[in-house]
Structure 1
């Protein structure tokens, strides 16, 4: 009776299913309602995501000429949704890639943590859309569908991919909230992922101190110009000897709900080499070594809008996820006929502006005469006027929601 009711509900929602087809699906997908975990798995969750997102970050960096913005947490969630319905061999391969345990109840806790990090609010507008778009003629496994939807891993949407490309294109544009991305529609499904960020700093940059300033490469040659936002404020900073970089933490939103870490290279080191040195342990080491300045620091960061459209299929192929796109056996427990996604595209947009929740009130001159309390190599300033790395983190778990490298200024100079 329960199966019939579920089938009727799913049909009403636009997901085709029959009782006979339902019995054909693998019964191995777990019932999350039976799970109960009474322990803090935050550190384990963070470790799992970092082990996945760092190789992802490096692959995207290599394919983007080191100028991009990426939402790695969103990709982790989507691959987890795929893994939950994959054939047993592929499932274990994907679980290993994601560094998640075999215990389905522990995975559910990970999913709850992952999907509740980026939530829109009045002060920080984060919108993340994860959709698997199936052809109208595809029948979805209701058990898998219930698992991924109830855990907020994915939305399952339908479109006439096979027989009406115009209607499909319009649906894709609606989902992506932008112009039609470059997509291969030869399969019976596509995976679409978007992440948009526009938030208020906990402490604003000065309204009157936005100036056009030169932007340099690592050889200190002028390559363009940017709008620089400036503020004098106390901040947590550290120096990474391995990356030869200054790192500063700037809180975002009420009570510093999010943090953006910026890193500028000050040593004689190639940026690609810096990216190659980044590991999950190093990121946690940097976070743990951040120290508050005893005096206000001169902070200058470009005002920007940075957006990337990433072919995530080829990136995952770099990470040895190959069968998903070509072998029907991999997804036979997800749909009938088996889902063969021909594209997986992520569009990410990040806006950095000078607005914030609190005004940075000038401190008395005497506040600048004492020692900073920081490593002397950091000095009394953080000026992002050369290629820099930055990432948006959830302050509770330190999950990485967005990561980026900025090397191409808005206004570029052409050498004659």
Structure 2
């Protein structure tokens, strides 16, 4: 359906989509219909996912001046699609980078888990588009095409990149909702990825308590102003003494099927915190979250944050270099071999105070009432200084969005 819509849009703009012509390639790719796995592989999938997305996150953090939003799971899925069609040597390299097994049936289970974490609904609007756009002079391997499309890894479409690059670029900009200043159409294909998030909290922030307030840097100096959303409620919260990071969990959506985690830096060193994040660190923190016995004051900036990230240079940081220049790498994907000249991800996240349930005020607790928490956590979580945050699927703890907020960006 997405391919049809995209084709119609390009046609409306004067861009003609060539009819897909199939050609037989080798080697053959596995038959998905023969796979049967009677085993819960969630933990193995999650471990593989984090082994890739954490180095990805750190590379983006270094290049972004510590203010960005990223959809790491979406990049994991796209790199998996690339691996499935790469030449045998590169395929093994990418499988190792993704930490996925050689067993194609197990990989298929991983792909089903990864691609079903972010589904749009009335209460949580998550829209993710993953496209590999080929020039219409390129013939795509039908076996690889079927694998990546049927597993929802990618939508593969074609457009006249070579003979009508202006119209193609304009339509890509519209699809990406972005000017894409670094878009390079010099190759015979481009890879495009978008993620848009706007969800309802399980419990709303108070409508009556949104105030303009200063936002500080880690040295305590005011650097701007934000609209602070406030609520008083019981939350799950934890503190990491070595890194001096305070973390809270806020449920999102019906049945709390998503969780937003906020990590506020109490110390003065963001790069050290980012560098220390490992999969063990993440799961240790998740395991250390404890509910407060009484409502505490929670304040989060209302924001719209958007990032355009050149994923080609990020993946080159991770060792994926031959994909862009060596025809041998993609000779089993298409004829002539695909040489993508761009890979861009655009992610936009909206946080506001709306929720599924009204934030009913709870009776005030006496100040000396125990919170049930580490004393260093106090009785509040006020995010008025740099913090890290992310959106997670509560079933598998897949990280759907990850961000660092160091500068006021609300609009």
Question: What is the TM-score of this pair, normalised by structure 2?
Answer: 0.94
Once the two structures are overlaid, the 10-residue window that deviates more, 402-411 or 204-213, is: 402-411
User: Counterparts of 1:328-347 in structure 2 under 5 Å?
Assistant: 328-347=327-346
Q: Is the 8 A contact 1:192 1:345 kept in 2?
A: yes
CA distance in 1 between partners of 2:410 and 2:105 (Å): 50
Q: Which residue of 2 aligns with 1:201?
A: 201
Change (3 A) 1:282 1:105: same
Q: Which residue of 2 aligns with 1:3?
A: none
CA distance in 2 between partners of 1:16 and 1:159 (Å): 11
Confirm whether residue 173 of structure 1 aligns to residue 177 of structure 2: no
CA distance in 1 between partners of 2:128 and 2:76 (Å): 13
Q: Which residue of 2 aligns with 1:238?
A: 238
Structure 1: runs of 5+ lacking an equivalent: 1-12
Q: Which residue of 1 aligns with 2:386?
A: 387
Q: Which residue of 1 aligns with 2:64?
A: 64
Structure 2: runs of 5+ lacking an equivalent: 1-16
User: Counterparts of 1:7-22 in structure 2 under 5 Å?
Assistant: 16-18=20-22, 21-22=23-24
| CA offsets 1:190-218 (integer angstroms, 9 cap, x no match) | 00000000000000000010101111111
Q: Is the 8 A contact 1:307 1:349 kept in 2?
A: yes
Q: Which residue of 2 aligns with 1:7?
A: none
Task: Tell me the SS of whatever aligns to 2:303.
Answer: strand
| CA offsets 1:233-259 (integer angstroms, 9 cap, x no match) | 000000012321000000000111100
CA distance in 2 between partners of 1:116 and 1:228 (Å): 33
CA apart distance, 1:174: 3.6
Change (3 A) 1:340 1:92: same
CA distance in 1 between partners of 2:410 and 2:363 (Å): 36
CA distance in 1 between partners of 2:73 and 2:386 (Å): 24
Q: Which residue of 1 aligns with 2:14?
A: none
CA apart distance, 1:160: 0.5
Q: Which residue of 2 aligns with 1:192?
A: 192
CA apart distance, 1:158: 0.9
CA apart distance, 1:369: 5.0
Confirm whether residue 96 of structure 1 aligns to residue 100 of structure 2: no
Q: Which residue of 2 aligns with 1:217?
A: 217
Once the two structures are overlaid, the 10-residue window that deviates more, 234-243 or 403-412, is: 403-412
Change (3 A) 1:332 1:65: same
| CA offsets 1:374-403 (integer angstroms, 9 cap, x no match) | 111111100100000000000000000000
Q: How many residues align?
A: 395
Task: Tell me the SS of whatever aligns to 1:329.
Answer: helix
Change (3 A) 1:411 1:304: closer
Q: Which residue of 2 aligns with 1:25?
A: 26
Q: Is the 8 A contact 2:245 2:266 kept in 1?
A: yes
Q: Which residue of 2 aligns with 1:143?
A: 143
Question: What is the TM-score of this pair, normalised by structure 1?
Answer: 0.93
CA apart distance, 1:180: 4.0
| CA offsets 1:67-93 (integer angstroms, 9 cap, x no match) | 000000000000000000000000000
Q: Which residue of 1 aligns with 2:39?
A: 39
Q: Which residue of 1 aligns with 2:9?
A: none
Q: Is the 8 A contact 1:25 1:141 kept in 2?
A: no
CA distance in 2 between partners of 1:50 and 1:15 (Å): 39
Task: Tell me the SS of whatever aligns to 2:153.
Answer: coil
Change (3 A) 1:167 1:25: farther
Q: Which residue of 2 aligns with 1:351?
A: 350
User: Counterparts of 1:63-82 in structure 2 under 5 Å?
Assistant: 63-82=63-82
CA distance in 1 between partners of 2:316 and 2:184 (Å): 15
CA distance in 1 between partners of 2:363 and 2:271 (Å): 42
CA apart distance, 1:14: 5.4
CA distance in 2 between partners of 1:411 and 1:151 (Å): 36
CA distance in 1 between partners of 2:18 and 2:27 (Å): 22
Task: Tell me the SS of whatever aligns to 2:293.
Answer: coil
Once the two structures are overlaid, the 10-residue window that deviates more, 136-145 or 180-189, is: 180-189
| CA offsets 1:280-322 (integer angstroms, 9 cap, x no match) | 1100110111111110010000000000000000000000000
| CA offsets 1:316-345 (integer angstroms, 9 cap, x no match) | 000000000000000000000000000000
CA distance in 2 between partners of 1:411 and 1:130 (Å): 27
User: Counterparts of 1:243-392 in structure 2 under 5 Å?
Assistant: 243-267=243-267, 269-366=268-365, 370-392=369-391
Once the two structures are overlaid, the 10-residue window that deviates more, 167-176 or 43-52, is: 167-176
| CA offsets 1:7-65 (integer angstroms, 9 cap, x no match) | xxxxxx955334xx31x3321x1111110001111111111111101100000000000
Task: Tell me the SS of whatever aligns to 1:44.
Answer: helix
